[in-house]
Chain A
Amino acid sequence: MLKKPLLFAALVLLSPVHASAIEGEKTVFQSPGAEKSRLVINGVTDADAIKPLILDFQQLAPDVTVEFNDYVSNDLFREAERACSTGQNYGDLLISSSADQLVKLANDGCAIPHSSAETDALASWANWRNEVFGFVFEPAVIVYDASRVPQADVPRSHADIADLLRRKPEDYRNRIGTYNIQLSGVGYLLAFHDALQAPTIYGRLLESFSRAEVVTGCCNNEVLDQIASGRLRIAYNILGSYAYAAFLKNPNLRVVIPRDYALILPRAALIPVKSQQTDLARRFIDYLLSSRGKTVAREKAFFLSEDDPLPEGVEGPASLIESGIGRPIRIGPALLAAQDRATRERFIRNWTALFTALDP
Chain B
Amino acid sequence: MALVINWCLMTKTRRSLFYRLVVRVALVLFVGAAVLITAAWFYAKAAADEAYDRLLQGAAIQILDGLSVEDGRIGINLPPAAFELLGQAPRDRIFYRVVLPDGLTLTGYDDLAPSVDLTPARSGPVFFSEDYRNVPLRIGIVGRAISEAAAGGWAYVLVGQTTEARKEFVTELTTRALVIVLIMSALALAGTALAIRYSLRPVNQLGDMLLRRDPQDLTPLSVAVPGELSPFVDSINHFMRRLDERVRLLQRFIADSAHQIRTPLTALSAQVSLIHEDALSDNDRRHLERVKDRAGELAHFTGQLLNHAMVIHRFDSAQLGPLDVTEIARKAFRAAVPITIDPDTVVSFEGPDETLIVLGDGLSLREAIVNIIDNSLRHGTRFKLDVRVLKRGNFALVEVEDDGPGIPPADWGQVTKRFVSSKSGSGSSGLGFAIASEVAIALRGGLSFREKTPEKGFTVVLELPLHAEMTS
Contacts and interface: CB of A to CB of B under 8 A. Distances in A.
Contacts of A347: 77
Interface of A: 106-109, 124, 128-129, 196, 332-338, 340-343, 346-347
B83 interface: yes
B226 interface: no
Given A333-B87, A333-B94, A336-B94, A343 B82 contact: no
Given A107-B94, A346-B77, A333 B84 contact: yes
A337 B79 contact: yes
Please name the 10 residue pairs, one residue from A and one from B, whose CB atoms are nearest each other, closest first: A342-B107, A337-B80, A343-B78, A340-B78, A334-B80, A334-B84, A333-B87, A337-B78, A333-B83, A334-B83
B248 interface: no
Determine chain B's interface SS by DSSP, over half rule: mixed
5 contacts: A109-B135, A334-B87, A336-B94, A342-B76, A343-B66
Contacts of B98: 342
Contacts of A109: 93, 133, 135
A107 B84 CA distance: 14
B107 A336 contact: no
Contact of B91 (A108, A129, A336, A342): A129
Contact of A343 (B76, B86, B87, B90): B76
B72 interface: no
B296 interface: no
B80 A196 contact: yes
Contact of A346 (B76, B81, B135): B76
B106 interface: yes
Contacts of A337: 78-80, 82-83
A342 B84 contact: no
A109 B92 CA distance: 11
A230 to B, nearest CB: 39
A341 B108 contact: yes
Contacts of B86: 333
Contacts of B103: none
Contacts of A108: 93
A196 B78 CA distance: 12
A343 B96 CA distance: 13
A316 B109 CA distance: 42
Nearest to A124: B90
Nearest to B106: A342
Given A107-B94, A109-B135, A333-B94, A342 B87 contact: no
A351 to B, nearest CB: 13
B158 to A, nearest CB: 14
B120 interface: no
A314 B66 CA distance: 39
Contacts of B81: 334
A346 B71 CA distance: 13
Contacts of A128: 90
Nearest to A130: B91
B87 A340 contact: no
A337 B87 CA distance: 12
Nearest to B95: A107
A273 to B, nearest CB: 12
Given A343-B76, A343-B77, A346-B76, A332 B106 contact: no
Contact of B107 (A124, A196, A341): A341
